Structures are given as C-alpha cells and as structure tokens.
Structure 1
Amino acid sequence: MFVESVVRWGAWSILLAGLGVSGGGCPSRCTCRPEAKEVICSGKHLNSVPEGFSSDAKRLDLSYNKLKTVGRRQFSGLQLLQELDLSDNLISMMEVEAFQGLSNLRTLRIKNNRLKIIPVGVFSGLSSLRFLDLSQNEILVFLDYTFKDMSNLQILEATENDLVFISQRAFFGLTNVVELNLDRSNLTSIPTEALSQLPSLTRLCMLRLTIPSIPNNAFRRLHRLRSLVISSWPFLDSLASNSLIGLNLTSLVISNCNLSEIPYPALRHLVYLRFLDLSYNPITVIQRNLLGDLLRLQELHLAGGSLVRIDPGAFKGLTNFRMLNVSSNQLSTLEETAFQAVGNLQVLRLDGNPLACDCRLLWVVRRRLRLNFDGFQPTCASPDAVRQRQFRDFSEKELPRLFTCRPARIQDRRPQEARVEEGTTVLFSCKADGDPAPAITWISSQRNVISPTGRIRVLPNGTLEVRYAQVHDSGAYQCLAGNTAGNDSLTVGLFVKGVPRNRSIPIFIDESWIEPTHMTQTANSSSQMAKPYPFDAKTLIIATTMGFLSFLSSVAICFVFMFFWSQSKGQIKHTATIDFVPRSSMGGGGDGGDGGRFTMKLI
C-alpha cells in the first residue's frame, strides 16, 4: 500500500506540473503559479534572463536580481505577458526592440537600475502599454521619439533621474498619457515644448527641482491639465503673470518653495480652481480683494509659512470657501470680516500661531463646537489671563468677560493748527491707544488716504509730515484711529502762505528738494525755526579744507614744472642753419642750380 501511494503521488505531481506549465516549462530557480499564470524570479541572484518560460504566462517578476542587459527580442516568446517587472537590477543597457513581441504588455517596471540613456526604438512594439516606471535610474536625457510607439501609455514615472534635458519631441506619440511624474532631476527650466506633446495630460507632478522661476506660457497647450504639483523648488521665487495662462486647473500645489507673496496675477485666470496649497513658503500676508477671481475655490492651505496678517476681505467673493489651513504661522488673529460668509466655513486650522484671544477671535470660539479644527485645537498665546488655554476649554459664560477689546482713542485731542510760509516742513501728531493696537490713517483735504511715502506722508509712529509745504497743501487733514472695537478721529488745519517771488523756495526734482534754507514747524509750536545757511559747521570745515588742499596741489605742480624746465634750458640752441636749392626762374626743374643757406635766430 505504501509503494502504491508513493506511485500515485508521483503521478499526480507530474500531472500538476504539466498543467502548470502548459505550453512551456518553469525555470529551475523561479516559482510558477499556474492558477494566476505568474512566474516569480525575484531575488534569485540571476545574472541573465532565464529561459523556459511558459508561453501563457501573464506576469513575470525578475526584480532584485543582477541583470545587466536586456537583449533584442528578449521576451518575444511571451506574447500573452501583461506585466513585466525588471526593477532593482543592474541594467545599464537595453537593446533596440528589447521588448518587441510583447503586444499585450500593460505594465513595465524598470525602476532602480543604472540606465543612463534610452536608445530610440527600445520600446518598439509596446502598443498596449499603460504604465511605465523609469524612476530611480541615471537617465541624463530623453531623446526625440523615445516613446513614439506607446500610443496607449497613460502613466509615465520618471522620478529621481539625472535628467538635464528633455528634447522637444521626446514625448511625441504619447497622446493618451494622463499623468507624468518628474522628481529630483537636474532640469534648470520647464520643458515647455516637450510637455506640449502630451495633449491628454491631466496630472503633472514636478518635485525637487532647481528651477528659479516659471515664465509666461510655461504650460501651453495642456488644456486638459487639472492637477499641477510643484513642490520643493528651493530657488523658485516668482511666477510670471501669464505663467499659468490657458490652464483649467482644479488643483494647484506650489509648496516648499521660496515665494514671498501669493502670486495673484498668475492665479487670476484659474476660475475652475477648487484646491490651492501654498504651504511652506515665506508668504507674510494675504491681501484683501485679490482672490475674488477664484470663484470656485473651496480649500486654501498656507501652513508653515510666515503669515503675520490676513486682511479684512481677503476671501471676499469666495462663496464656496469651505476650508482654511493657516497653521504654524505668525498670526495673532483672524477676523470674521476676512470671509465672504463664515457660515460656509467647515474646517479651520489655526493651531501653531501666537493667537491673541480678544474680541477678534470671539467668532471662532463661539463656533468651536460646529467648526472642525481637524483634531488640532487653537491655543491662546495672550493675554496672560488665558495663556495656553485651548478654545474647547472655555465655557460660554466666561467668553464675554475674557474675549474683549478696548476701542481706539486718540490721546492728545488739543487743537492743532499750523500757519506757515511756503517751503516749511510741518508735523502733525496723532497718537492713540486701544486693545488691539489701533491703526492710524490720515485723510487729506482732498479726501484721499495718505501713504507712507511721498512729500506728504505718514511716519511709522502715526505722525503726519508735510515736507516743504506748498500753498495748495492748505486745508483740513483728518486722523482716523481704529480697531475692531471702535474708531476715533481728529482734524487738524494747515495754512500755507506764499513767499514773494524774489525769495527762493525749495524745488522738487526727482523725489528730492533743492532748498536754500530748512524750516520745520510742529503744529503745537508758535515759533518758526530756520537756519540761515544750508550747511552746518562740520560741512563748512570739510569743504574749506578740501579747497585749501586743492590749491596747494596746484601750486606744487607749477613749481615742479618750472624746475624741470629750468634744468633743460642750457641745452637749447638759439640758432638754426637751413640749406636749400632754389627753383630756376624758367621752371625747368632747377638742374645745375646752386644751393643756398641761411641762418635763423630762435627766440
């Protein structure tokens, strides 16, 4: 019985082996799975592609071996093969038509090898290929028509290569590619012409590049592109205003770069954008009314930046806005007026900011049960009474007592009036206190807001400076001090008297004034201080010294010249003798005529 059982078991083993390798065999160092039509030769220390594969195999795994080359028509007997994995080998060369005959191949992985260049024609015959992974090689350049026979390719992975150049027609024929990934290469500019050969591209990822800027029309003819990811470009500090023109993006990521401000001009065309991530850029402010063109924007991520302010009206017009992530910045507050409608806001990330918990954040605390903080509770950094308390720790009863503000109030309300002559510089003081600190704004007599620059300007301490006052500067100026809790105002008067025409007055030329005298008057003083000379004593001493030195230098040069002239005077001859031949009186040329001589005396 025992012998019979052994015989039966051997017969069944032979039968199963025969079923498992129908149409061929199984290489001795590989594992075959007949039910899945797989041949697994991974990690077998193979130096070359083995032979004897079953002709009906659909998946072949040759990864983690020591293969160095792929020869011409290496797999031509595997016409039903759908997936081939050559990853993690030592392949440095692939011959032309290396994959010829694999007309049903859908997936090809050649990841983590030593390829430096791919000859044109290597991928010939791969008309059904959908996925190609060339990442983690040493490829330097993609040549023209490298992928021309792969008309059905959809995803191309080309990350972590040494690419320095992508030829303009390298992607010619890839009419169905929807995703391209480029990561950690040596490209110094965007391969615009090459990318334009990908008319069906919907997702483009370009990571860890050294490109410093994105020029106009950088992604032209990519009308189907919906997702663009640009990340870890440490030198990228600018986007041209038309760099994203023609794109219909719904998702845009420009993170871990060097943008110091939101590229509003480049973004204004993206009316279909729903997701925007500008995290980990040194952006300091989100300005008001500049994102309104992004009508469909739902999410904005600006985490890990340098934000110190989000202006009121920053998200005006964004009726679909649902999520804001400004975690790990330098924000002290976020006012309700920044949003079009806070009722639509669902997710808010404020954690990691030095938040001042006063009346400006009361709207957030009162919505703390409805708002989703994504698991990261905001924490108060000031004032001392609530330091380190999380928003969820506050009870409804204590909110009116703790989250308060003090209205702005101008401290010195004494009348300020200045009557001066033309050319005088006048200062008007406006100091205010309040909690939070009030913002100071000056309004001119023409009802215009005065800027911090120009002849009439607002100084950092809130003082209004009118330099070299002119007659037309006369009028009433209003100081407005305001914060979230309230406003205060103060009006001052300036009256400028013209000077007689025979007196000189300052002339304004190229942002500077030429003045004969300097006069400054504050609005609270009754006397006028003027200096009769435009230079101080130090300046006059330096100028006199320089003039005296110049005079001494001129005199010294004259003495030196006279010295050398006197030394050479004894060598000068006072007479000169000149020989000459006179012309004949008949004009015959003077042959045979006698010469002459005369002597001149030199004076």
Structure 2
Amino acid sequence: MSLALLTISSYIFSFQVSAFSLTNCTVSGALNNPQELKVLCYKMGFYTVPSPIPSNARLIDMSFNFISNIRAGDFEDLWNLRGFNLSNCNISQIEDGTAKHFPNLIKLNLAYNKLKTVSRGLLDGLVNLQVLRLDGNLIESIDEFAFKTLRSLIILNLTENNLRQIANVRPVLLSPSLEELLIGSNKFDVFNSCDLSRTALSLIKIDLSYNPLSKFQITENIFPNLDYLDLSHCGRNGTMLWNITDKTFLNSVKALYLTAVDMPEEDLTAVLQNITWASLFKLRLSELKWMTPKTLLQSGCLPGLK
C-alpha cells in the first residue's frame, strides 16, 4: 500500500516539475485536452523563448517581453497551435524556417516589434494562416515570394511601417484569399492602381489612412468587390489629386472615410459628385474645417447614404 502511494506521489511531483519548467508561465486548461490548452507567458521579462512548450498548446501568448532574436530551433513542432501572440517583444530578427513549426496556425500577432523586412522564409509554411499582424514595425521591404504559401490569409495589417511605394506591397497579393489590407500610417505619397495590380483583386477592405498621398489614381478595375475605403488624414500641403479613369470603378464601395483629408474644397466636391458611388451608404467627412457647412451638405448628400 505504501509503495502504491509512493508511486502516485512521485508521478504527481514529476508532473508539477514539468509544468513549472516553463519559468513562471501560466498553463491554462487541461494538458490532455488540446482544444483548451493555453500557454500564457506575457510580461515575464523573458530575453529568450521559454521552454519546453507543451506540444499540444492551442494558444501561446509571449507578448511584452524582450525576445529580440528568434531562432527556428527555439520551437519544436506545434501541430495544435492556432493562435500565437509575439507582439511588443522588441523582435528584430526571426530565423527563416521558424514558422514551419506552426503549420496549422490561424492567427499570428507580430505587432509592435522591430522587424525591418519580411524575408522569403519568415512566413514559409503558414498555409492555414488567416490573420497576420505586422503593424507597428519598421518594415521597409517585403520579399517577392514571402507570401507565396499563405493561401488562406484573409486579413493583413501592415499599418505603421516604413513602406514608401505601393509596389512594395505587391508581394502580399500572392495570398489569393486576401480580403482586408491595412496599410495606413506608412510613407506612401502616390497610390497608383497599376503599381499594385493590373487584374481584379479579392480585396473587400483597404485602409490607406495617414499616408502623405499627393495622388490617388485608379486606372484599372482592380477593386470590383471593395466595400470599405479609408483615406482619412491623407494628402499633403492641401493637395491630393484624384484620377479615377472610369467613374464606375468604385461602384461597390459601401463605406468611404475622408476624415481630415487634405485637398481643396472644389476637388473633394468633384470626387463626391462625379464618381458613381452606386453602393455608398456610409460617408465620413469630419474634421474638414476649411469646408463650408453649405458645401459639405451639398457634397455629402448623396443618394443611398444613411
């Protein structure tokens, strides 16, 4: 009897030591239930990836640490992983091939780090990824094949980076399912549709807000399904030239945001009156102090608005 108790006690002790080896991380859920297991290691002051991570973890949160460099060898294969938060970690380098350890990942958050480029192998293998956050980094370039394997990607956030030309964004279009592209607060001064694509895209939402755009030009019908367009706080020195070569190109847009857009009153009026906004029902024109109330009402009262 005492031997049996000793064996049980030894097993429990062994289990506790194994769990504690995650260096103060919190493991939530049952280790034998892969649908619930969460590994929470945020705000722990880590400078390296803690280990060992339970192989059946469903969600890992390592945000708000100091893990500047991530190596492929820091992880074993995590087939059950669906969500991974590595935001706010001062990450400047992730070794190519690291993502292959997370083949079933759906959401990856790398926001607010110090990444300067999206290399060819950074995202390789993330065939099931649907949501990717890269906002708040220092990204200047994206390898032309970086998104080649991301065939399930739906939402991509590249807000607050150092991208300068729309052509820099073109590689993300290798993701055939992409619907939401958030590229506000970069350094684009020209948006020309032909620099992005010459064929129709699957995009439903595009956010270009807070870019110093001097020109917004669409010369091909690349947005047949677009229903959300945000150009708030765009323009520079009171000028933002619009050139939409076919007034029906934005027919599908349902929500248009032009808050604090920096362009002459007559030009903004022409944009609203001369383009066919066949589907528009939400228009935001706030913070336009230079525009008279009368003109604002005349320009903004379009058929279909609610």
Give your verdict on TM over 0.5: yes
Match of 2:292 in 1: 306
Match of 1:43 in 2: 43
Match of 2:23 in 1: 28
Supply the distance in 2 between the matched residues of 1:314 and 1:199 (Cα, whole angstroms). Answer: 28
Question: Displacement of 1:188 after TM fit?
Answer: 1.6
Question: Displacement of 1:209 after TM fit?
Answer: 0.6
Match of 1:276 among 278, 283, 289: 283
TM-score by length of 1: 0.44
Match of 1:170 in 2: 171
- Partners of 1:172 and 1:197 within 8 A in 2: no
- Partners of 1:214 and 1:243 within 8 A in 2: no
Match of 1:249 in 2: 253
Supply the distance in 1 between the matched residues of 2:175 and 2:273 (Cα, whole angstroms). Answer: 28
Question: Displacement of 1:87 after TM fit?
Answer: 0.8
Question: Displacement of 1:117 after TM fit?
Answer: 1.1
Show the 5 A alignment for 1:519-530. Answer: none
Letter in 2 for 1:306: T
- Partners of 1:256 and 1:280 within 8 A in 2: yes
> Could you say what secondary structure the match of 1:170 adopts?
helix
Supply the distance in 2 between the matched residues of 1:93 and 1:197 (Cα, whole angstroms). Answer: 34
TM-score by length of 2: 0.82
Match of 1:72 in 2: 72
Change (3 A) 1:206 1:238: same
More strand by share: 1
Give the number of the structure whose alpha-carbon radius of gyration is greater: 1
> Deviations for 1:183-239, whole angstroms, at most 9, x for unmatched residues?
21111212633366782211111111101121242x731211111111111424332
Letter in 1 for 2:105: L
Question: Displacement of 1:28 after TM fit?
Answer: 2.5
More helix by share: 2
Change (3 A) 1:47 1:310: closer
Letter in 2 for 1:179: E
Change (3 A) 1:220 1:168: farther
Question: Displacement of 1:39 after TM fit?
Answer: 1.0
Change (3 A) 1:311 1:98: closer
Supply the distance in 2 between the matched residues of 1:182 and 1:275 (Cα, whole angstroms). Answer: 21
Show the 5 A alignment for 1:529-540. Answer: none
- Give the fraction of aligned pairs with identical amino acids, expressed as a percent: 20
Range 9-18 or range 227-236, more displaced: 9-18
Change (3 A) 1:141 1:10: same
> Deviations for 1:400-458, whole angstroms, at most 9, x for unmatched residues?
xxxxxxxxxxxxxxxxxxxxxxxxxxxxxxxxxxxxxxxxxxxxxxxxxxxxxxxxxxx
Match of 1:214 in 2: 216
- Partners of 1:75 and 1:99 within 8 A in 2: no
Change (3 A) 1:109 1:311: closer
Question: Displacement of 1:9 after TM fit?
Answer: 10
Supply the distance in 2 between the matched residues of 1:81 and 1:282 (Cα, whole angstroms). Answer: 49
- Partners of 2:248 and 2:275 within 8 A in 1: no
Show the 5 A alignment for 1:142-541. Answer: 142-165=142-165, 166-167=167-168, 169-190=170-191, 192=193, 193-194=195-196, 199-217=201-219, 220-235=221-236, 236-242=239-245, 245-247=248-250, 248-259=252-263, 260-261=265-266, 262-264=269-271, 267-281=274-288, 305-308=291-294, 318=303, 320=304, 322=306
Match of 1:81 in 2: 81
Change (3 A) 1:58 1:241: closer
Supply the distance in 2 between the matched residues of 1:188 and 1:85 (Cα, whole angstroms). Answer: 32
Letter in 2 for 1:199: L
Change (3 A) 1:37 1:16: same
- Consecutive unaligned residues of structure 1, counting only runs of 5 or more, are 1-5, 284-304, 323-603
> Could you say what secondary structure the match of 1:167 adopts?
helix
Letter in 2 for 1:177: L
- Partners of 2:283 and 2:305 within 8 A in 1: no
Change (3 A) 1:240 1:206: same
Change (3 A) 1:196 1:153: farther
Aligned length: 289
Supply the distance in 2 between the matched residues of 1:44 and 1:127 (Cα, whole angstroms). Answer: 30
Supply the distance in 2 between the matched residues of 1:83 and 1:212 (Cα, whole angstroms). Answer: 39
- Partners of 1:108 and 1:133 within 8 A in 2: yes
Letter in 2 for 1:68: S
Supply the distance in 2 between the matched residues of 1:15 and 1:205 (Cα, whole angstroms). Answer: 52
- Partners of 1:240 and 1:266 within 8 A in 2: no
Question: Displacement of 1:85 after TM fit?
Answer: 1.0
Change (3 A) 1:266 1:195: farther
Match of 1:393 in 2: none
Supply the distance in 1 between the matched residues of 2:213 and 2:56 (Cα, whole angstroms). Answer: 47
Letter in 2 for 1:27: L
Supply the distance in 2 between the matched residues of 1:72 and 1:115 (Cα, whole angstroms). Answer: 16
> Could you say what secondary structure the match of 1:240 adopts?
strand
Question: Displacement of 1:118 after TM fit?
Answer: 1.7
> Could you say what secondary structure the match of 2:196 adopts?
helix
Change (3 A) 1:243 1:65: farther
Match of 1:93 in 2: 93
- Partners of 1:225 and 1:249 within 8 A in 2: yes
Question: Displacement of 1:112 after TM fit?
Answer: 0.9
- Partners of 1:59 and 1:82 within 8 A in 2: yes
Letter in 1 for 2:67: L
Change (3 A) 1:13 1:72: closer
Question: Displacement of 1:98 after TM fit?
Answer: 1.7
- Partners of 1:95 and 1:119 within 8 A in 2: no
User: What is the aligned-residue RMSD (CA, Å)?
Assistant: 3.2
Letter in 2 for 1:146: A
> Deviations for 1:125-153, whole angstroms, at most 9, x for unmatched residues?
10000111101111112231221211101
Supply the distance in 1 between the matched residues of 2:222 and 2:62 (Cα, whole angstroms). Answer: 39
Letter in 1 for 2:126: L
> Larger relative contact order (C-alpha < 8 A, sep ≥ 6)?
2
Change (3 A) 1:12 1:199: same
Supply the distance in 2 between the matched residues of 1:51 and 1:312 (Cα, whole angstroms). Answer: 63
